[in-house]
Amino acid sequence: MRIDRGTGSELFDVDGRRYLDAAGGAVVVGIGHGVTEVVEAAAAQAARVAYVHGSSFSSEVLEEYADALAPLLPVDDPRMYPVSGGSEAVESALKMARAYHLARGEDRDVVIGRHGSYHGNTRGALSVSGRAGLRQPYLPWLQGVEHTTTPYEYRCAFPDAHPDGCAQRHAEALEETIQRVGPGRVAAFVTEPISGAGLGACVPPADYWPAIQQVCRRHGVLLVADEVMTGFGRTGAWFASDHFGLRPDLLVAGKGTASGYWPLGLAVASGPVHETLASSGFVHGFTYSHHVVGAATGHAVLRVLQRQGLVEASARQGERLHGALRRELEGVPGVGDIRGRGLLQAVELVADVGTKEPFERSHRVAERVLEACREHGVLVYPGTGCADGRRGDHLLLGPPLVVTDDEVDEIAAGVGASLREVLGDVLAAG
């Protein structure tokens, strides 16, 4: 399929066929396709000056973007380090965490991630990720990282304590990991406030983040919030951290930062972390970090989000999408769970609803649903491995925040028709 053009939540291929972009690509597009004012802002900056190296120069466009974004970030006295995407942002945050502790005279060399998480495909980001299938070929290179449990309410790691006591058990598991490694060795805990592609929009219980923050603060472990997928309104708040009162020491963003109009990511440090790094110096940089055209693009996207009230629209349309999916999929065999927050929604598919047994990978359920949805004119983001690292099929839905009521209903109807077709065939075949 070759795409020719797009507008709002719609994409059109070279043959003129229309598709609803129910996934925003890879949950990237927030403000919608075809927003000319963003393109014009990028072009105007490129015409003025397209590139200066960030280690030598700052610029008005960078400073203006940082000033506009800072009040919206769930970070105390935030300081931004713009890069070219989410993986670079994670790499930057990992180095910041290490450098921070060295500046304080502490040689902390271990980072803790969570099982089932995904933080990017560069070596450091893949190290802290918890997706076994992606990590397996590179395990000899993935050092200095431990993993702990993840809140995954549909498949809770602590069924005996679920639902009221599992958050505390997750905090205890993190505590045990820190103690086993050695409290003086753990530099950072890297985590998604709401799980993204790896587990499919898993929302933690309300008491999870307060308990986790307490453990991290007690041991001087920097808390790194990965908001690459969940930031910039995706979950119905500016950042997913806002839902839980989470105030991370470091935050990383990407995807919706520039809504696909420019490869832009951010590593954000709190004021105290920045001051400590500045006291000893932080040697780091990429050729395209602090890009002036990226800053102009990001600022233009930010203005669209604010002017059109798209964060509030995400909360409102997310509720509509969640409700429409529940109605459309009620009683459909093989639909195990429907979950999410805002316009980050997921449907998990299982071979047995009662036991939650996942389909075998040989059935290629997620891939078949992707194709069926496309035939129904709806583009979705499939995922595999959520149940045990290899098995487990889910669909992730993350349409542009400009999606209309009628389009939301059309997405749910297309997903419903596709699931009835594919799951009916798979379950009938045994």
Return all residues near 74 (Cβ < 8 A) that are at least 6 apart. 225, 238, 239, 241, 242, 246, 247, 248, 251
Residue 399 pLDDT: 98
Helices of type H across 205-309: 208-219, 271-280, 292-307
Residue 371 pLDDT: 98
> In this model, does residue 430 exceed pLDDT 90?
no
Residue 58 pLDDT: 81
Residue 385 pLDDT: 95
Q: Detail the DSSP E strand segments found in 309-376.
A: 335-341, 344-349
Question: Contact 126/142 with Cβ under 8 angstroms?
Answer: yes
Residue 55 pLDDT: 77
Question: Contact 274/282 with Cβ under 8 angstroms?
Answer: no
Domains and CATH numbers, the chain: 3-31+309-429 (3.90.1150.10), 36-307 (3.40.640.10)
State both tokens at 27. Answer: 């949950």
> In this model, does residue 80 exceed pLDDT 90?
yes
Is 384 strand, coil or helix? strand
Question: Contact 62/295 with Cβ under 8 angstroms?
Answer: yes
The whole-model pTM stands at: 0.97
Closest by CA position to 423, among listed 352, 354, 374, 356: 352
Residue 385 to residue 376: CA distance in whole angstroms: 25
Residue for token pair 């290490």: 98
- Mean pLDDT (whole number) for 272-296: 94
Q: How many residues does the chain have?
A: 430
- Mean pLDDT (whole number) for 222-243: 98
Residue 101 to residue 116: CA distance in whole angstroms: 27
Residue 391 to residue 26: CA distance in whole angstroms: 21
Per the DSSP assignment, residues forming a β-bridge with 335 are: 349
Is 205 strand, coil or helix? coil
Q: What percent of the chain has pLDDT over 90?
A: 95
For 81-99, letters b (16+ CB in 10 Å) and e give bbbbbbbbbbbbbbbbbbb
Question: Contact 28/344 with Cβ under 8 angstroms?
Answer: no
Tell me the CA distances in angstroms from 335 to 216, 306, 332, 421, 427, one per residue in order. 37, 36, 6, 12, 12
Per the prediction, the chain carries an average pLDDT of 96
Residue 429 pLDDT: 86
